[in-house]
């Protein structure tokens, strides 16, 4: 975090400074990292005691002090020998401090902010942009999937006086949440990747999802840029609710930044990228899956708007071999068995994309095995979307389905009804059974995909299979 006095921090968060029992003054400067996790606290850091659904961060404040916290932001005073700022709501205070830090860094004239949202692909696109922009200047980007009302501010608070680029992943499970993050770190460039049924159950339907994602661009001005997916009608419609200049990305002719001549194989994806003005280049993209090409196009469009030359963008894209841990992560190799662990999360769109990739990378004479778990947070759409994936798996000719857990059982039933009558689809209750089944049936040359929502926990099964076939 940039250096601020205790008085400045208290003012930014509309809190009351509590210094009793300490040697600090209102002019004491704090410039450490900010966290809500006491286990991450180091000397000089700021600890926000956040109340959670199942626990209360105030319980861990003593541990934060023992580890060297220089300041606590709390909702009531604690008997601890460290400066404290007392606020009404620690999460609101976290956002307020981030807003002030962004304002101060931006006022120095160097900072450019890119916001990234969408039902799928946020983390991959953010990581690609980080790789591209780090070579151009000091860059801060969200860690992991830090994209909510806590993770967003913590990312923004990593800014320093030297930061030139902030890449902010902005997620939501309700209308208004992206708008809150946009107000905290207003983007110069806002990217909307895709609108699908991910979290549709929480949003209350697809139209509410569209409304929530459009918050990325509705407050952009005519001097700013909206990077929109030309191939997604719901995203494309957002051009009508923004004053920003629109830059399109996609596979179709409408796109300003476009990919053609796609070739998908087990080592990644190759494509030709065309930029505005006609410049083009062949990209050998090490991230597996045609769907990740769209993320690469979005990152490219934003980077071009920030003045990065196309050759430098291509070099950065080609240096990336993994989008993120547990996202189309290629493992295995023994007996030529490939394991693709894509079980960090799953929506109907990403599940379909992963299955299509599995079918595309299949070599003649080999088999494909899809180990699939539940797609969570779909609400009323859950049944029909699991049906759709079961049908797709059969129609793509996936050699063997292994469906894991009661939440995904309907997918198995649909696959059986569609045509998997001779054991091509198997249902098991848990990950241990799935491991035993896959290791018993896998043959040399097979490709195994593991895909589910995070809550289903199959990413650990993917790791286990990857290690078994290493």
Residue 447 annotated as part of some ligand binding site: no
Q: In 3-state terms, what secondary structure has residue 417? A: helix
Residue 466 annotated as part of some ligand binding site: no
423 class by beta-carbon count within 10 Å (0-12 exposed, 13-18 middle, 19+ buried): exposed
Q: Which residue has the tokens 């996936």?
A: 398
The Cα–Cα gap between 78 and 87 comes to: 13
Q: Closest Cα to residue 268, out of 289, 251, 247?
A: 289
The Cα–Cα gap between 19 and 67 comes to: 19
The Cα–Cα gap between 255 and 227 comes to: 10
Residue 209 annotated as part of some ligand binding site: no
**Greatest distance between any 2 Cα atoms in the chain:** 76
Contact 98/106 with Cβ under 8 angstroms? no
Radius of gyration of the chain (CA): 24
Q: Which residue has the tokens 């990740």?
A: 292
Q: Closest Cα to residue 425, out of 411, 435, 439?
A: 411
Question: In this structure, are strands 268-274 and 280-285 parallel, antiparallel, or unpaired?
Answer: antiparallel
Residue 122 annotated as part of some ligand binding site: yes
Cβ partners under 8 Å of residue 53, min gap 6: none
Residue 144 annotated as part of some ligand binding site: no
Residue 430 annotated as part of some ligand binding site: no
Residue 333 annotated as part of some ligand binding site: no
Question: Binding-site residues for ATP, please?
Answer: 118-124
Question: Binding-site residues, please?
Answer: 118-124
């Amino acid at each position: 975090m940039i250096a601020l006095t205790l008085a400045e921090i208290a003012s930014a968060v509309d809190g009351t400074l509590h210094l009793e029992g300490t040697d600090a003054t209102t002019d004491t400067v704090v410039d450490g990292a900010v966290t809500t996790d006491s286990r991450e606290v180091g000397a000089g850091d700021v600890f926000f005691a956040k109340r959670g659904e199942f626990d209360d961060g105030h319980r861990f404040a003593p541990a934060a002090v023992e580890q060297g916290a220089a300041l606590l932001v709390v909702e009531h005073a604690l008997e601890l020998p460290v400066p404290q700022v007392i606020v009404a709501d620690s999460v609101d205070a976290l956002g307020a401090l981030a807003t002030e830090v962004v304002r101060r860094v931006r006022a120095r004239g160097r900072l450019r902010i890119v916001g990234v949202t969408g039902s799928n692909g946020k983390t991959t696109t953010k990581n690609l942009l980080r790789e591209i922009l780090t070579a151009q200047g000091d860059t801060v980007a969200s860690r992991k999937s830090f994209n909510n009302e806590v993770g967003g501010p913590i990312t923004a608070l990593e800014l320093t006086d030297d930061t030139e680029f902030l890449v902010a992943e902005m997620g939501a499970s309700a209308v208004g949440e992206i708008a809150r993050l946009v107000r905290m770190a207003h983007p110069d460039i806002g990217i909307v990747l895709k609108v699908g049924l991910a979290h549709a159950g929480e949003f209350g339907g697809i139209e509410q999802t569209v409304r929530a994602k459009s918050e990325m661009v509705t407050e952009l001005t005519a001097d700013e840029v909206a990077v929109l997916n030309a191939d997604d009608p719901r995203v494309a419609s957002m051009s009508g609710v923004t004053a920003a200049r629109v830059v399109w990305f996609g596979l179709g002719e409408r796109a300003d930044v476009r990919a053609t001549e796609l070739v998908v194989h087990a080592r990644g994806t190759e494509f030709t990228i065309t930029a505005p003005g006609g410049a083009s280049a062949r990209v050998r993209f090490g991230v597996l899956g045609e769907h990740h090409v769209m993320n690469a196009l979005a990152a490219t469009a934003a980077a071009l708007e920030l003045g990065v030359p196309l050759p430098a963008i291509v070099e950065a894209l080609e240096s990336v071999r993994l989008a993120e841990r547990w996202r189309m992560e290629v493992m295995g190799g023994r007996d030529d068995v490939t394991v693709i662990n894509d079980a960090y999360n799953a929506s109907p769109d990403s599940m379909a994309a992963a299955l299509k990739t599995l079918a595309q990378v299949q070599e003649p004479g080999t088999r494909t095995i899809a180990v699939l778990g539940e797609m969570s947070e779909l609400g009323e759409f859950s049944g029909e979307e699991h049906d759709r994936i079961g049908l797709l798996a059969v129609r793509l000719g996936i050699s063997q389905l292994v469906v894991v857990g009661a939440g995904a059982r309907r997918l198995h039933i649909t696959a059986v009804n569609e045509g998997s009558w001779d054991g091509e689809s198997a249902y098991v209750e848990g990950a241990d059974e799935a491991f035993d089944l896959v290791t018993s049936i896998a043959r040399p040359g097979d490709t195994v995909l593991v895909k589910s929502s995070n809550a289903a926990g199959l990413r650990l099964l993917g790791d286990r299979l990857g290690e078994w076939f290493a």
